[in-house]
Amino acid sequence: MLKSGNIYIILITLVATLGGLLFGYDTAVISGAESSLQAYFTDSLHLSSMVHGITVSSALIGCIMGGILSGYFSTKFGRKYTLIISAVLFLLSAFGSAYPEFLFFTKGEPSIALLIAFNIYRIIGGIGVGLASAVSPMYIGEIAPSHIRGRLVSLNQFATILGMLIVYFVNWSIAKGQTIEWINDIGWRYMFLSGSVPASLFLILLFAVPETPRYLVSVNKDEKALKILSKIYNETMVKATMYEIRNSFDAKKANLFSFGKTVIIIGILLSVFQQFVGINVALYYAPRIFESMGAGRDSSMFQTIIMGLVNVIFTVVAILMVDKFGRKPLLVIGSIGMAIGMFGVAGMAFYNAIGIATLIFIIIYTASFMMSWGPVVWVLIAEIFPNKIRGKAVALAVAAQWAANYFISSTYPTMMEYSGGLTYSFYGIMSVFSALFVWKMVPETNGRSLEELELLLSKSSKNNDTSNKAVNQ
- In SS3 terms, 351-367 reads as CCCCCHHHHHHHHHHHH
Please state the rounded mean pLDDT for residues 342-357: 80
| Of the candidates 364, 347, 51, 30, the residue with the CA atom closest to the CA atom of residue 194 | 30
> What confidence score (pLDDT) does residue 103 get?
81
351/329 Cα distance (integer angstroms): 34
Sign of CA dihedral 396, 16, 150, 278: negative
Q: Write down the pLDDT at residue 322.
A: 67
- Mean pLDDT score, 355-364: 79
Q: Identify the CA nearest to 97 among candidates 64, 66, 119, 113.
A: 119
Is pLDDT of 367 > 50?
A: yes
More confident residue, 467 or 229: 229
- Return the pLDDT at 193: 94
Q: How far apart are CA 99 and CA 192, in angstroms?
A: 9
Determine the angle formed by the axes of helices 373-384 and 390-418, rounding to 10 degrees. 150
On the question of pLDDT at 433 being above 90, the answer is yes
The pLDDT of residue 354: 65
DSSP-derived secondary structure for 221-259: -HHHHHHHHHTTB-HHHHHHHHHHHHHHHHSPP--TTTT
- Categorize the per-residue pLDDT at 296 as very low, low, confident or very high, splitting at 50, 70 and 90: low
> What are 369-409's pLDDT values in tens digits?
988 888 888 788 877 787 677 778 888 888 888 888 878 87
Look at residue 329 and tell me whether its pLDDT is greater than 90.
no
Query: Helix H segments across 371-446?
Result: 373-384, 390-418, 420-441
Secondary structure of residue 2 in the 3-state scheme: strand
Average pLDDT (148-166) is 80
Give the residue, 6 or 308, on which the prediction is more confident. 308
Q: Is the pLDDT reported for residue 269 higher than 50?
A: yes
Per-residue pLDDT reduced to its tens digit, 36-49: 888 888 888 888 77
Task: Please give the residue that has the higher pLDDT: either 176 or 198.
Answer: 198
What pLDDT does 473 receive?
A: 44
Give the list of residues 6+ apart from residue 198 with CB closer than 8 angstroms, or none.
Answer: 18, 21, 22, 25, 163, 166
pLDDT at 73: 92
**pLDDT, mean of residues 418-439:** 90
pLDDT of the residue at 299: 57
Q: 189-200 pLDDT, tens per residue?
A: 999 999 999 999
Longest dimension (CA), the chain: 70
Question: Picking from 67-71, 204-208, 258-262, which range would have the lowest pLDDT averaged per residue?
Answer: 258-262
Closest CA relative to residue 457, chosen from 443, 471, 439: 443
Looking at the predicted structure, is the pLDDT value of residue 436 above 90? yes
In angstroms, the CA 160 to CA 398 distance is: 15
pLDDT of res. 434: 93
Cα-to-chain-centroid distance, residue 308: 15
Q: How confident is the model at residue 120 (pLDDT cuts 50, 70, 90)?
A: very high
DSSP-H helix ranges across 144-296 = 146-175, 180-182, 188-193, 196-206, 213-218, 222-230, 235-250, 262-276, 279-284, 286-291
Which tops the pLDDT comparison, 260 or 267?
267
Asked if 81 and 209 touch (Cβ cutoff 8 Å), the reply is: no
- What percent of the chain lies above the pLDDT cut of 70? 82
Given a contact cutoff of 8 angstroms between Cβ atoms, the answer to whether 396 and 270 are in contact is no
- Rounded-to-integer distance, Cα 199 and Cα 282, Å: 24
pLDDT greater than 70 at residue 439: yes
DSSP 3-state assignment of 277?
coil
2 confidence band (pLDDT: 50, 70, 90): very low
Distance CA 163, CA 374 (A): 14
Question: In the predicted model, what is the mean pLDDT of residues 99-113?
Answer: 85
At 432, is the secondary structure helix, strand, or coil? helix
Q: What is the pLDDT of residue 468?
A: 47
Average pLDDT, the chain: 80
Mean pLDDT of 148-170: 81
CA dihedral 238, 240, 242, 246 (to 10 degrees): 180
Domains of the chain: 8-209+251-467 (1.20.1250.20)
